[in-house]
Amino acid sequence: MRTALRDLRTAAGLSQQQCADALGVTRQTVISIEKGHFDPRLSLAFRIARFFDTTVDELFVDE
């Protein structure tokens, strides 16, 4: 699954650790989502979308 997390995070000027802290996850989780190695649970997907003021559909694209 392709994700826009890296683009949104860097546009916001956040490090992976800052993003992880804001979302209540580990830095490794952010890295894994950005690389497409981990598909987050729906609750985390919505938390990420709310944090970046976007939708889950815009954040994650099923390829």
Q: How confident is the model at residue 63 (pLDDT cuts 50, 70, 90)?
A: low
- Which amino acid belongs to residue 18? Q
| Mean pLDDT of the region 13-33 | 98
Q: What is the pLDDT of residue 61?
A: 82
Tokens 């890295």 appear where? 31
Q: How confident is the model at residue 38 (pLDDT cuts 50, 70, 90)?
A: very high
Radius of gyration of the chain (CA): 10
pTM here? 0.90
Q: What is the pLDDT of residue 21?
A: 98
Mean pLDDT of the chain: 94
Inform me whether the pLDDT recorded for 51 exceeds 80. yes
